[in-house]
Amino acid sequence: MSLLLDVILPVFLVTGFGYVAARWLGFKEASVDGVMHFAQGFALPLLLFASIARLDLGRAYDTGLMVSFYVGAFSGFAAGFLAGRYLFGRPLTDSIAFGFCGLFSNSLLLGVPITERAYGPGALEGNFAIISIHAPVFYAFGITLMELARSHGLGLSAGALARQVARAILSQPLVIGILCGFVVNLSGLPLPAIAWSAIDMVLAAALPTALFGLGGVLYRYRPEGDMRAIAVLSAVSLVLHPGITWVLGTQVFGLDDAALRSAVITAAMAPGVNTYVFANLYGVAKRVAASTVLVGTGLSILSVWVWLQILP
């Protein structure tokens, strides 16, 4: 119970405060958008930049860690896609959006603060190793499938598809922050202490601001219909993905405690807001994606507590 009270609830209380502010305290949609623009456009990319720039790449990129997480993630996509296509009879494009809900966990806004509160700042190395390729890989995968599905194999050259995928990925501030972090890390380019001091000031506000803004965003995503689909996708995200990651991490790769914690906690997060952004980009399954973000985030209060009990 102490894990629930001391580790998980503070994170969700900040998110809940944002929800309450948007619903009852006059925090307007424009204000929510402003907070999220700062968080996602500036503060979180700077957090990723600083984390990747300082990361011990040779130690962080453990094969077992990455395979355990990403096999679980793509299994989640397959489960969501097959459920959409064959269990609920949705069109191909809708089913890809369903799969994206099972693929894209909220690794940054929820996974990082929960891991940090549970195990300390030194436990985040594996989280950032996963996050460093999280958005680029998943967006490339999802956009490629969606463009192929929409074109039905007609009129879309491989070069045009590659350019569209590259533009979509490289225009994301989070990806820009990651790439800049790799440049500094791999080049050994020193930044002056005054620059790091300024960066650290922004970093102190990054996660609290993002969590508060997330609450305001979630207020918009009221669950409406499709509850069976929402329940299935929430189970895929909160149970199947971390379950596969845990089995692979413990039974196949024998991950050490730190790597196992990072992999499973990151996998156990609810679908991120990016799942709705992806669905909205293509105008498919928007209601299911938005509602799954909201319902999954609420359910994760208990499911994450269970996973923390299971982990060493």
Is the pLDDT score of 291 beyond 60?
Answer: yes
Mean pLDDT of the residues in the chain: 90
Select the more confidently predicted residue: 169 or 5: 169
pLDDT at 150 over 90: no
Round to whole Å and give the CA distance between 114 and 7. Answer: 6
State pLDDT tens for residues 236-246: 999 999 999 99
**Out of 46-55, 158-167, 257-266, least confident range:** 158-167
* pLDDT at 145 > cutoff 70: yes
Q: What is the pLDDT of residue 5?
A: 63
pLDDT above 90 (res 18): yes
Task: Label each residue of 264-296 as H, E or C.
Answer: HHHHCCCECHHHHHHHHHHCCCHHHHHHHHHHH
Q: Where are the domains of the chain?
A: 2-310
pLDDT over 90 at 97, yes or no: yes
Q: Which residue has the higher pLDDT, 6 or 250?
A: 250
Mind spelling out the 3-state secondary structure of 201-234? HHHHHHHHHHHHHHHHHHHHCCCCCCHHHHHHHH
- Per-residue pLDDT tens over the stretch 153-186: 545 666 777 777 778 778 888 889 999 999 999 9
- Structure tokens given for 190: 């020193």
Q: What is the spatial distance between Cα 226 and Cα 279, in angstroms, rounded to a whole number? A: 15
Nearest-angstrom CA–CA distance, 133 and 52: 11
Q: What pTM, to 2 d.p., does this model score? A: 0.89
Residues 254-261 have a mean pLDDT of 96
As a whole number, mean pLDDT of residues 56-73 equals 93
Q: Which CATH architecture has domain 2-310?
A: Up-down Bundle (1.20)
Contact in structure between 129 and 66 (CB atoms under 8 Å): yes
**CA 283 to the chain's CA centroid:** 20
Please state, for a pLDDT cut of 70, what percent of the chain lies above it: 95
The tens digit of pLDDT for each residue in 72-81 reads 999 999 999 9
